[in-house]
Amino acid sequence: MHELGVVFYVIDDVKKVAVENGAEKVNSVTLEIGEVSTVVPEYLIDCWNWAVTKHDILNGCELRVEQIPAVTYCEACKSEYPTVQYGKTCPHCGSGKTYLLRGNEFNIKEIEVIS
C-alpha cells in the first residue's frame, strides 16, 4: 500500500502552504486523482484520516477526492475513448496506435483553511 507514503507527501505540501499563508487550521484538502493513477481513493482516505491526527494544524481535516476519468486518444482515427473500458486498442478502428490523454494525474486542487 503506497497510499500512506502519498499521504505523507501531501501532508508535507499542505502544511508548507498553510504555514506560508498564515493559516491556523486546515479544514479540507481536495485532490484530483486520475482513474488509472494506481492510487486507490478508499485506501488514501483511510490513511489520511489516521495521519492527520498526528498534526495539530490538520487534525480533523477532511480529504475530498475528485476522480479524473481516464481517456485514450487514437492516432489512427483521431478519436477519444474511455481507457478502462477498452484498454490500448481503439474500439472505433481497432488500432493500437493510442496514448493516454488524461487519467493518470494526482494533483492538490484546493486547500481550505482558517486564518
* Residue range 9-23, pLDDT digits in tens: 999 999 999 999 999
What pLDDT is attached to residue 1? 54
* Residue range 74-105, pLDDT digits in tens: 999 999 999 999 999 999 999 999 999 999 99
What is the Cα–Cα distance from 45 to 78, expressed in whole angstroms?
A: 37
Q: Give me the domains of the chain, ranges plus CATH numbers.
A: 3-69+102-114 (3.30.2320.50)
What pLDDT is attached to residue 2? 86
What is the Cα–Cα distance from 31 to 103, expressed in whole angstroms?
A: 13
Block residue for cell numbers 497510499: 3
* Residue range 14-69, pLDDT digits in tens: 999 999 999 999 999 999 999 999 999 999 999 999 999 999 999 999 999 999 99
CB-based contact 45:11 (threshold 8 Å)? no
What pLDDT is attached to residue 25? 97
Tally helices (H) and strands (E) across the chain. 3, 6
Burial status of residue 51 (CB atoms within 10 A of its CB: 0-12, 13-18, 19 or more): middle
Report angle CA 65, 30, 38 to the nearest 5 degrees: 45
* Residue range 1-11, pLDDT digits in tens: 589 999 999 99
